[in-house]
Amino acid sequence: MGGIDNGRHLIEAFLEMMAVERGAATNTCQAYGRDLEDFAEFLAGRGMAADQADLTALRDYVGDMARRGLAPRTAARHLSTLRQFHQFLFAERLRGDDPTTSLDNPRLGQPLPKYLAENEVAELIAAAGRLDGVAGRRASALLEILYAAGLRVSELVALPFAAVARGQRVLIVRGKGDKERMVPLGDPACRAVTAWIEVRRPPASPWLFPGEDGRGHLSRSGFAKMLDRLAVAAGIPPSRVSPHVLRHSFASHLLAHGADLRSVQQMLGHADIATTQIYTHVLDDRLKSLVNRHHPLAKKKE
């Protein structure tokens, strides 16, 4: 399998396979090539070819990436490339084993969800209310529902008119996996929806928020553009505002005001409560605040 030099030609063979047989994009193949070239240079320093790494060498490479300060996600991408490369070598009988099967992935930190402060959400809703006519009523209804129910943007724009036609205070939302869930609407959202229905066009549309041309429903991109304009009007950088940020804000603010995690899970439509647990940082802050306010030792002066 021979020698340090011919390790590179196996990398080329792997990249060709990815492009021709699996249809990998040019940018993807270039990224694979950079990752494998980095790996080959590391092995060359040990007198090994790119196809000769054992588990010890792979673990040392992971340690080398950490010493160089590569972010966990970047290191994970490198390892994904190495796994595919070694799977290729094994499948083509270019080596008799795949050492990456015993290699652990680097631990990825769970990023905290980005969310707006309560006063910032209020400013966004106020900016929507300042818009004139039909546009203002539609924007207000969209924001009030999104913040009141924590919907995914795809769920919001595709709400059927039947979801609110009878003036009910509970939304029946069809989410991922075609699963239905019930989410209550508060008074502000109900008032905004009622005001929107009065001017909604075309009135015969099956969608609560018809598209601009009257066919289909409002697009995700159309809603995102509207949200950008409202962010500017509210004095908030548009880069900090998105439909998903408002969904995060809904969950974070509920927990901050005492809602339990299981209820938030059900309203968000998460199949697994582990997904909802990204919001526990809010619970941590609230618990610290409760302890500081109410625990007798916390009030004790030094």
User: Per-residue pLDDT tens for 242-259?
Assistant: 999 999 999 989 988 888
- Tell me how far apart the alpha carbons of residues 287 and 284 are, in angstroms, rounded to a whole number: 5
- Tell me how far apart the alpha carbons of residues 203 and 144 are, in angstroms, rounded to a whole number: 21
CA 4 to chain centre: 42
pLDDT for res 6: 55
Residue 279: active-site member: yes
Domain extent, residue 97, equals 7-102
Q: Which of 46, 169, 244, 288 is catalytic?
A: 244
One domain, residues 125 and 262: yes
pLDDT beyond 60 at 299: no
Residue 9: active-site member: no
Cβ-based burial of 44 (10 A; exposed 0-12, middle 13-18, buried ≥19): middle
Task: Note whether residue 300 is domain-resident.
Answer: no
Q: What percent of the chain has pLDDT over 70?
A: 88
Q: Which of 176, 215, 225, 240 is catalytic?
A: 176
pLDDT beyond 50 at 302: no
Please, which pLDDT band fits residue 203 given cuts at 50, 70 and 90?
confident
- From 78, 102, 126, give the residue that closes a domain: 102
SS3 112: coil
pLDDT for res 286: 52
Task: Note whether residue 298 is domain-resident.
Answer: no
* Residue 171, H or E segment: strand 170-174
* Residue 172, H or E segment: strand 170-174
One domain, residues 61 and 181: no
Q: Which of 152, 200, 217, 253 is catalytic?
A: 152
Total count of domains within the chain: 2
pLDDT in tens, 269-281: 888 777 787 776 6
Each residue of 168-183: b (16+ CB within 10 Å) or e? eeebebebeeeeebeb
pLDDT beyond 50 at 4: no
pLDDT in tens, 120-157: 999 999 999 999 999 999 999 999 999 999 999 999 99
One domain, residues 254 and 123: yes
Place of tokens 């609230």: 286
Q: Which of 86, 137, 247, 253 is catalytic?
A: 247
One domain, residues 89 and 173: no
Mean pLDDT of 37-54: 92
Closest to 85 (Cα-Cα) out of 50, 122, 110, 46: 50
pLDDT for res 285: 55
pLDDT beyond 50 at 3: no
Question: What pTM value is reported for the model?
Answer: 0.60
Closest to 4 (Cα-Cα) out of 32, 43, 54: 43
Question: Angle formed by the axes of helices 243-256 and 280-294, to 10°?
Answer: 30
- From 102, 137, 163, give the residue that closes a domain: 102
Residue 247: active-site member: yes
pLDDT beyond 90 at 11: yes
Are the C-beta atoms of residues 42 and 69 closer than 8 Å to each other? no
Cβ neighbours, 10 Å, residue 10: 21
pLDDT for res 2: 41
Partners of 217 in the β-ladder:
210
Mean pLDDT of 31-58: 92
Compare 114 and 214 and report the one with higher pLDDT: 114
DSSP letter for 148, please: H
Partners of 183 in the β-ladder:
171
